[in-house]
């Protein structure tokens, strides 16, 4: 088995030909960069991911972390990989040079992190969580908090976690009960229980910085009463010397279907000893802070799902070229040698479906990461604002679509392998199990659908939707040859129908109320998701069509023809499936809504 | 002490190599390329010598197409100080590479030249030895340990029977074996620093070396795929098969 997990040629195509990432170097923030530095970090990521992460992916799954004498035991490879990732500067990769960062664009960082997820999502989890927690402290923490916690997190001496979920409050964080009582020494006393906290305990780093959502005594009810706290595993003085354990304890490990290398923990706060927490920013703003960082985190989840899907695709493609089985239906002679299964049209269907899902999802997520870059660094103020609006709108789609279609791709990878795919001797079953988390965490896809149709679409008087349509229009018009124009036509037809559906649902929201109007939100998410991915395929097809005219080698022509065929697959086989969503949404079908719970 | 390290751009070791349909060579179009793993070990060794205060400057040289600059940049990001790129799109065989390196050695006068023992594309295992001969320098090949001691270097070599340690007078040529060290990864800040390090480009003509190949490749074929093994029932059967079927004893 070769260890090529993500097609580098495709990544270069998406980043440099479709997104023209090199142009970012015209912006002051990225002025010291060039395509060479981008390629060099991508190369380092690819190499480290294969050497240090992929190498123990199966082992960390088989030999999952164990709870022994109140401590977590895990294979040493995890620490080795985490330390190398941090030492190479990846946690701080997008940060300012002054903070030890490399001022890399988010779109390049996303691509880099993709290799680590594809190689080993469980081990990569510790690093990504640390980066996410560090981001929150950087933006909302005080200077003193940054010195004390952020700096050691950026070098990987401390890790971070996000401690939001409680046993009775997952999707509905408004209902959390963990409490924070102020003291006269500046800290708060935290009391409560959290569950599913990834990386909540480990022996990889010197200290763990939990970012905990809790309610200050007397706070308003619901989301407006939630505050954010830093809760370190070890209390430290200002020089970073350990003063002893804080009162946060591991109550137990949770045993999962996949992502087994990342510890999933139940944590108790303030049970046996006082648990000190330090308020981040202002009281009652905790959830708002979390949500401000959510876009990037959710783009990350989507990209992770795309990458695990990608890995399964690469494995199954290689397998299909080598596995000999069967003959063409037309072949009558049993003496003829069997064919590689890739010769069978049905196997090619499964490979093409995977290709169209994972490369489409990759394009979508990289587009999202680029929106992060544009909203932060585009020189034109209007484009900065527009990119921000568009990112807000598209985030639920970027999180949900890849996390639904990534596992679908993995399911097809298993099918291509036949019986072998179902066994643990081959890597694709693990890909599927790992990827199955992605529709659940960071807001379930059901919650994403409500977010899209209940909030995002109507934000800023629909300015996000308008920007989306404007941008699609540019690519529709850029379709130059017949094939692309045909696809552009079906996309534009679908968009028009979706606009109508949106208007219908908009008036239903006002006249019939949210319960009825949002009942089929998941169909709406699917509809918008497929439109966005079709758009991504049109963009790729436009570029490939042009490039094909000047492609210098046969290999290059194969690459671009492959892009066009995958685009065709998406337009012929996938986009038409939204017809059903359109009917259900237009009719405001109430089958599910009206199903009495007593009838089950 | 100045150290010269030679690095080669080769097909990535993870890539499944495909032979061209006309059997003239290996298909390199769109194939992922990388630094030869033995050269990575050579760079690492030089960087460690510098960290120990033994080496003062590391010059890295690569021969090959424009894209070979990527590998030089990688070496610079790993800790080398400056690069020399000898640019050519021609095929460069071991002897020609050794001649080019000899020309660089004459100019740069390094105390130590470190090369990989072989490159994973052609597996020749010749360049270091040829360079040593052309430059009149002693050589320590297949190194698993390198200790510089004043104006001498002790090189522990991996040979069939075990390990042999030789002492060479500097300047000397060392070629690296797999167990010499474990190369580091380029860190992000160092990739940025590498961008600013000097990289000088020259042509084989500048160095007065004629690249005309001395060897002709007749044919390139993929190795035979290994056949599935069989289980034998007894030692007698094994001996019988080895004698009469495989005809090896
Ligand atoms: C492996 C793993 C790692 C995790 N890591 C972390 C972590 O690091 N930190 C952290 O804080 N949390 C973490 N979580 C928790 C995760 O975020 C929650 O599991 C997720 O938010 C869903 O909450 P829940 O499990 O309580 O499900 P529930 O909220 O009980 O949801 C169950 C089902 O009901 C649906 N549902 C719920 N409410 C509604 C509604 N209002 N309308 C329509 N449908 C609804 C959901 O879509 C879902 O299908 C992790 C979970 C897992 C499995
Ligand atoms: C858990 C488990 C239990 C099993 N139990 C038994 C058992 O008790 N007895 C037994 O005899 N077998 C058993 N099997 C074997 C099982 O029946 C085979 O795995 C199955 O028939 C597929 O064959 P394969 O694995 O060789 O896949 P392959 O035949 O190699 O198929 C690989 C892929 O190629 C496709 N493909 C192959 N040929 C063609 C073609 N001509 N046209 C189009 N597509 C094609 C397949 O659809 C599949 O997607 C078991 C397998 C598993 C995983």
The β-bridge relationship of strands B33-35 and A234-236 is: unpaired
The β-bridge relationship of strands B172-176 and B139-149 is: parallel
Using CB atoms, pick whichever of B14, B187, B188 lies closest to residue A4. Answer: B14
* B 22-41 residues with CB < 8 A to A: 27, 29-30, 32, 34
pTM above 0.90, yes or no: yes
- What's the pLDDT score for residue A155? 94
List, in sequence order, every beta strand (DSSP E) within A61-178: 66-68, 71-73, 158-163
Please name which ligand lies nearest the alpha carbon of A345.
Answer: 2
Q: How far, CA to CA in Å, does A500 sit from each of A486, A497, A503, B124, B215? A: 22, 5, 5, 68, 71
- What's the pLDDT score for residue B18? 82
Q: Does B165 touch chain A (CB under 8 A)?
A: no
Whether residue B191 and residue A3 make contact (CB cut-off 8 A), yes or no, is no
Closest CA relative to residue A341, chosen from A356, A328, A354: A328
CB A299 within 8 A of CB A369: yes
Whether residue B74 and residue A50 make contact (CB cut-off 8 A), yes or no, is no
Q: What distance in angstroms lies between residue A327's CA and the mean position of ligand 2's atoms? A: 15
Which residues does A545 contact at the CB level (< 8 Å), separation at least 6?
Answer: A480, A481, A483, A484, A560, A564
Look up residue A349 and give its two tokens: 């269907």
Using CB atoms, pick whichever of A37, A88, A554 lies closest to residue B187. Answer: A88
Q: What distance in angstroms lies between residue A171's CA and the mean position of ligand 1's atoms? A: 5
- What's the pLDDT score for residue A2? 55
Beta bridge partners of A198: A264
Per-residue pLDDT of chain B (249 residues; tens, 9 = 90+): 999 999 999 998 888 788 888 998 888 877 888 999 999 999 999 999 999 999 999 999 999 999 999 999 999 999 999 999 999 999 999 999 999 999 999 999 999 999 999 999 989 999 999 999 999 999 999 999 999 999 999 999 999 889 999 999 999 999 999 999 999 999 999 999 999 999 999 999 999 999 999 999 999 998 887 777 788 889 988 998 888 888 888
Using CB atoms, pick whichever of B27, B32, B77 lies closest to residue A40. Answer: B77
Q: What distance in angstroms lies between residue A419's CA and the mean position of ligand 2's atoms? A: 5
Q: What distance in angstroms lies between residue A527's CA and the mean position of ligand 1's atoms? A: 23
Q: Which is it for the CA torsion A171, A123, A121, A145, positive or negative?
A: positive
Whether residue B29 and residue A44 make contact (CB cut-off 8 A), yes or no, is no
The residues of A annotated with a catalytic role in the active site are: 442
Q: Does B192 touch chain A (CB under 8 A)?
A: yes
- Could you give the CA distance from residue A429 to residue A421 in angstroms, rounded to a whole number? 6
- End-to-end CA distance of chain B, in Å? 54
pLDDT 10s digits, A117-137: 999 999 999 999 999 999 999
Chain A partners within 8 Å of B32 (Cβ):
4, 8
- Could you give the CA distance from residue A215 to residue A192 in angstroms, rounded to a whole number? 10
Whether residue B192 and residue A102 make contact (CB cut-off 8 A), yes or no, is yes
Whether residue A40 and residue B187 make contact (CB cut-off 8 A), yes or no, is no
- End-to-end CA distance of chain A, in Å? 47
- What's the pLDDT score for residue A296? 81
pLDDT 10s digits, A327-370: 999 998 889 999 999 999 999 999 999 999 999 999 999 999 99
Whether residue A556 and residue B29 make contact (CB cut-off 8 A), yes or no, is yes
Q: Which residue has the least CA distance to atom 53 on ligand 2?
A: A419
Report the chain A residue with the minimal C-alpha distance to residue B190: A88
The CATH class given to the B2-223 domain equals: alpha beta
Whether residue B74 and residue A40 make contact (CB cut-off 8 A), yes or no, is yes
Query: Helix, strand or coil for residue B138?
Result: coil
Query: Is the minimum distance from the CB of A132 to ligand 1 under 6 angstroms?
Result: no
Closest-lying ligand 2 atom to the alpha carbon of residue A341: 34
Whether residue B29 and residue A554 make contact (CB cut-off 8 A), yes or no, is yes
Query: Is the minimum distance from the CB of A265 to ligand 1 under 6 angstroms?
Result: no
Closest-lying ligand 2 atom to the alpha carbon of residue A350: 49
Using CB atoms, pick whichever of B27, B30, B185 lies closest to residue A9. Answer: B30
Backbone angles phi, psi at B148, to 5 degrees: -85, 130
Chain B partners within 8 Å of A39 (Cβ):
70
For B216, counting Cβ atoms within 10 Å of its Cβ (0-12 exposed, 13-18 middle, 19+ buried), the class is exposed
Per-residue pLDDT of chain A (600 residues; tens, 9 = 90+): 457 789 999 999 999 999 999 999 999 999 999 999 999 999 999 999 999 999 999 999 999 999 988 789 999 999 999 999 999 999 999 999 888 889 999 999 999 999 999 999 999 999 999 999 999 999 999 999 999 999 999 999 999 999 999 999 999 999 999 999 999 999 999 999 999 999 999 999 999 999 999 999 999 998 899 999 999 999 999 999 999 999 999 999 999 999 999 999 999 999 989 999 999 999 999 999 988 778 888 999 999 999 999 999 999 999 999 999 999 999 988 899 999 999 999 999 999 999 999 999 999 999 999 999 999 999 999 999 999 999 999 999 999 999 999 999 999 999 999 999 999 999 999 999 999 999 999 999 999 999 999 999 999 999 999 999 999 999 999 999 999 999 999 999 999 999 999 999 999 999 999 999 999 999 999 999 999 999 999 999 999 999 999 998 888 999 999 999 999 999 999 999 999 999 999 999 999 999 999 999
Q: Does A553 touch chain B (CB under 8 A)?
A: yes
Report the chain A residue with the minimal C-alpha distance to residue B30: A555
Q: Where are the domains of chain B?
A: 2-223
Q: Which is it for the CA torsion A274, A280, A282, A283, positive or negative?
A: negative
Instruction: Please give the helix or strand (H or E) that residue A6 lies within, else none.
Output: none
Q: What distance in angstroms lies between residue A56's CA and the mean position of ligand 2's atoms? A: 29
Closest CA relative to residue A479, chosen from A565, A558, A539, A551: A539
Which residues does B116 contact at the CB level (< 8 Å), separation at least 6?
Answer: B6, B7, B8, B36, B37, B38, B39, B40, B41, B42, B128, B175, B176
Q: Does B196 touch chain A (CB under 8 A)?
A: no
Query: Is the minimum distance from the CB of A400 to ligand 1 under 6 angstroms?
Result: no
Helical H runs in A512-553? 514-517, 521-550
Report the chain A residue with the minimal C-alpha distance to residue B182: A51
Q: Does A48 touch chain B (CB under 8 A)?
A: yes
Q: What distance in angstroms lies between residue A314's CA and the mean position of ligand 2's atoms? A: 20
Binding-site residues, ligand 2, Cβ < 6 A = A 323, 325-326, 341, 344, 346-347, 415-416, 418-420, 422
What number is the ipTM of this complex? 0.82
pLDDT 10s digits, A507-555: 999 999 999 999 999 999 999 999 999 999 999 999 999 999 999 888 8
- What's the pLDDT score for residue A1? 46
Using CB atoms, pick whichever of A50, A93, A555 lies closest to residue B188. Answer: A93
Whether residue A40 and residue B191 make contact (CB cut-off 8 A), yes or no, is yes
Question: Residue with structure tokens 């990534």?
Answer: A406
Q: Which of B16, B35, B191, B225 to mutate to test the interface with A (most CBs of A within 10 A)?
A: B191
Q: Which residue has the least CA distance to atom 27 on ligand 2?
A: A418
Chain B partners within 8 Å of A50 (Cβ):
14
Whether residue B14 and residue A39 make contact (CB cut-off 8 A), yes or no, is no
């Amino acid at each position: 088995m070769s260890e090529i997990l993500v097609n580098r040629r495709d990544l270069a195509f998406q980043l440099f030909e479709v997104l023209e990432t090199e142009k970012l170097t015209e912006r002051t923030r990225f002025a010291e960069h060039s395509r060479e530095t981008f390629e060099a970090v991508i190369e380092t990521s690819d190499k480290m991911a294969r050497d240090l992460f992929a190498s123990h992916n199966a082992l960390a799954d088989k030999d999952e972390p164990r709870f022994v004498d109140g401590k977590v035991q895990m294979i040493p490879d995890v620490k080795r990989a985490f330390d190398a990732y941090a030492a190479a500067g990846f946690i701080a990769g997008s940060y300012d040079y002054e903070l030890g960062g490399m001022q890399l664009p988010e779109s390049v960082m996303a691509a880099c992190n993709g290799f680590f997820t594809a190689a080993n999502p469980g081990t990569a989890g510790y690093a990504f969580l640390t980066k996410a927690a560090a981001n929150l402290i950087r933006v909302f923490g005080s200077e003193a908090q940054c010195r004390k916690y952020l700096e050691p997190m950026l070098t990987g001496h401390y890790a971070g976690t996000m401690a939001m979920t409680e046993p009775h409050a997952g999707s509905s964080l408004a209902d959390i009960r963990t409490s924070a009582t102020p003291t006269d020494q500046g800290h708060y006393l935290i009391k409560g229980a959290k569950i599913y906290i990834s990386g909540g305990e480990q022996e990889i780093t010197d200290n763990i910085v939990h970012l905990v959502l809790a309610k200050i005594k007397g706070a308003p009810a619901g989301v407006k009463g939630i505050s954010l706290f830093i809760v370190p595993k070890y209390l430290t003085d200002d020089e970073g010397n350990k003063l002893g354990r804080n009162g946060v304890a591991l109550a137990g490990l949770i045993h999962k279907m996949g992502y087994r290398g990342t510890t999933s923990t139940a944590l108790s706060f303030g049970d046996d000893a006082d648990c000190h927490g330090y308020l981040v920013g202002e009281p009652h703003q905790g959830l708002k802070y979390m949500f401000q960082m959510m876009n990037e985190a959710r783009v990350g989840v989507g990209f992770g799902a795309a990458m695990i899907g990608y890995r399964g695709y690469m494995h199954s493609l290689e397998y299909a070229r080598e596995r000999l089985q069967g003959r063409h239906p037309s072949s009558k002679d049993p003496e003829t040698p069997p064919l590689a299964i890739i010769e069978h049209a049905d196997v090619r269907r499964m490979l093409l479906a995977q290709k169209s899902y994972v490369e489409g999802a990759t394009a979508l997520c990289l587009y999202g990461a680029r929106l992060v870059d544009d909203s932060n660094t585009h020189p034109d103020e209007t484009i900065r604002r527009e990119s921000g609006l568009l990112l807000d709108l598209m985030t639920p789609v970027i999180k949900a679509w890849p996390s639904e279609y990534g596992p679908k791709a993995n399911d097809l990878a298993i099918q291509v392998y036949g019986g072998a795919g179902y066994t643990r001797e081959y890597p694709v079953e693990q890909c599927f199990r790992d990827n199955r988390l992605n529709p659940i965490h960071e807001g379930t896809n059901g919650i994403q659908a409500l977010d899209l149709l209940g909030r995002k679409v109507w934000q800023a008087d629909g300015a996000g939707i308008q920007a989306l349509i404007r941008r699609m229009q540019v690519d529709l018009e850029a379709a130059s040859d017949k094939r692309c124009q045909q696809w552009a036509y079906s996309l534009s037809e679908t968009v028009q129908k979706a606009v109508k559906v949106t208007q219908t649902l908009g008036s239903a929201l006002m006249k019939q109320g949210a319960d009825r109007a949002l009942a089929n939100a998941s169909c709406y998410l699917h509809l918008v998701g497929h439109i966005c991915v079709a758009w991504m395929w049109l963009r790729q097809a436009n570029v490939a069509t042009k490039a094909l005219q000047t492609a210098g080698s046969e290999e290059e022509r194969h690459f671009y023809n492959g892009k066009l065929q995958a685009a065709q697959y998406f337009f012929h086989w996938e986009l038409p499936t939204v017809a059903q969503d359109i009917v259900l949404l237009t009719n405001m079908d109430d089958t599910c809504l009206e199903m009495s719970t007593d009838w089950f | 002490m100045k150290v010269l390290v030679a690095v080669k751009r080769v097909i990535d070791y993870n890539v499944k190599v495909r032979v061209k349909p006309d059997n003239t060579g290996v298909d390199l179009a769109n194939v992922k390329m990388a630094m030869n793993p033995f050269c990575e070990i050579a760079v690492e060794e030089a960087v460690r010598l510098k960290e120990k205060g033994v080496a003062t400057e590391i010059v890295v040289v690569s021969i090959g197409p424009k894209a070979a600059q990527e590998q030089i940049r990688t070496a610079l990001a790993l800790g080398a100080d400056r690069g020399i790129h000898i640019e050519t799109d021609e095929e460069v065989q071991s002897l020609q590479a050794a001649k080019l390196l000899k020309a660089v050695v004459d100019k740069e006068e390094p105390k130590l030249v470190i090369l990989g023992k072989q490159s994973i594309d052609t597996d020749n295992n010749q360049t270091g030895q040829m360079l040593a001969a052309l430059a009149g320098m002693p050589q320590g090949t297949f190194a698993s340990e390198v200790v510089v001691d004043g104006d001498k270097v002790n090189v522990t070599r991996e040979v069939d029977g075990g390990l042999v340690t030789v002492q060479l007078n500097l300047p000397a040529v060392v070629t690296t074996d797999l167990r010499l060290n474990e190369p580091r990864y380029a860190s992000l800040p160092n990739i940025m620093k590498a961008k600013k390090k000097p990289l000088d480009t020259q042509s084989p003509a500048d160095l007065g070396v004629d690249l005309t190949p001395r060897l002709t490749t007749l044919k390139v074929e993929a190795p035979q795929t290994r056949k599935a093994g069989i289980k034998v029932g007894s030692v007698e059967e094994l001996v019988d098969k080895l004698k009469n079927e495989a005809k090896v004893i």
